[in-house]
Amino acid sequence: MMDKSNLAMHMAGSQRWSDSRPDSRVGQPQPAKPTRVKNIGLLGVAFFIVSESMFFVGLFLAWFYLRATSDAWPPAGVAPPPLLPAVINTGIALLSTVAVLFADRAIARDNRSGLIAGIATAGALGVIFMAVQSAEFTALSALAQGSAYGSTFTFLLLFHVLRVFVGVVLMGVVLVRALLGHFSSRRRLLVQGTAMYWCFITGVWLVVFAVLYLLS
């Protein structure tokens, strides 16, 4: 089979046999850095989120294993955690996710003030989330040392809230750079990455909320 699309062939002005499996890309002009996806940065964030999820899978594995091998869960004498703060935080997490997605949509349409408003709201909600969690921790710290239940409970909350912290820092960077006039519909990798990561953090929270509060 003759490969007519081959640039080099045309340039060389000769004909030659081609591989029996033609490929549509052959002969296209050569980019300096060939890449098959529009945004390799986001692909990197996606893979990173996969590894982050596996970290939580590990912690949940411990939770379910310890739960299955314990007589009582939570152990006798330990009250189940109060629902109210967790419910409030679930609302906050969902709201902040909406805000961060709004911010990303806004800059996609080159609306920088929308980006600033959205990311500032989401960041502020993230800070409130952390404040509520830190109140939880003071209540929990004694529990962590006493039992397997307390240990896994605190660990799941702790490592989730660490991610929230990272997310808030990222949003702070986005905010400052947006105020400095950075980002546009074409250059918004950091905004998109932050939004993706924040959605992941909210997703983890929903699982944490379901498993630790609703199913115990």
Partner 1 sequence: MKLAIAEAIATERDMASISIPIPLRDRARTGLLGWLATVDHKKIGVMYMMVAFSFFVIAGVLALLIRLQLAAPNMQVVDPQTYNQIFTMHGTVMIFLFTIPMLVGGFGNYLLPLMIGARDVAFPRLNAFSFWITLGAGLVMFGGFLFGARSDAAWTAYIPYSSKTFSPTIGMDIWLLGLILLGIGSTLGAVNFLVTLYSMRAPGMTAWRIPMFGWAMGTTAGMVLLATPVLTAALIMLVADRNFNTQFFTTNRVQLWQHMFWFYSHPAVYIMILPAMGIISEVIPVFARKPLFGLRAVVISTILIGLLGFTTWVHHMFVSGVDPTIERFFMFTTMVIAVPTGVKMFNWLATLWGGSLNLKTPLLMCLGFLATFVIGGISGVMQGSIPVDQYVHNSYWVVAHFHYVLFGGSVFGIFAGLYFWVPKITGRMFDEKLGKLHFWTMMIGFNVTFFPMHFLGLLGMPRRIATYDAGRGWEAGNLIATIGAFLLAFSVLIFIINCIKLRNGERAGNDPWEGNTLEWSTTSPPPEYNFREIPVVESDRPLFDARMRTPSA
Q: What is the token pair recorded at 15?
A: 């004909």
- CA 76, 77, 79 angle in degrees (round to 5)? 105
Candidate ranges 43-51, 122-130, 166-174, 180-188; the one touching partner 1 (CB under 8 A): 43-51
Binders in 49-108 for partner 1, by CB under 8 A: 50-52, 54-55, 57-59, 61-62, 65-66, 69
Tell the smallest beta-carbon distance from residue 86 to partner 1 (Å). Answer: 21
* Residue 49 contacts residue 197 (beta carbons within 8 Å): yes
Burial class, 5, CB count within 10 angstroms (exposed 0-12 / middle 13-18 / buried 19+): middle
The verdict on 166 binding partner 1 (CB under 8 A) reads no
Applying CB under 8 A, which of residues 94, 108, 128, 144 lies at the interface with partner 1?
Answer: 144
The verdict on 21 binding partner 1 (CB under 8 A) reads yes
* Residue 83 contacts residue 213 (beta carbons within 8 Å): yes
Single-letter code of the amino acid located at 163: R
Applying CB under 8 A, which of residues 2, 8, 179, 206 lies at the interface with partner 1?
Answer: 8
Q: Is 17 helix (H, G, I), strand (E, B) or coil?
A: strand
Tell the smallest beta-carbon distance from residue 199 to partner 1 (Å). Answer: 18
- Judged by CB under 8 A, the number of residues near partner 1 is 52
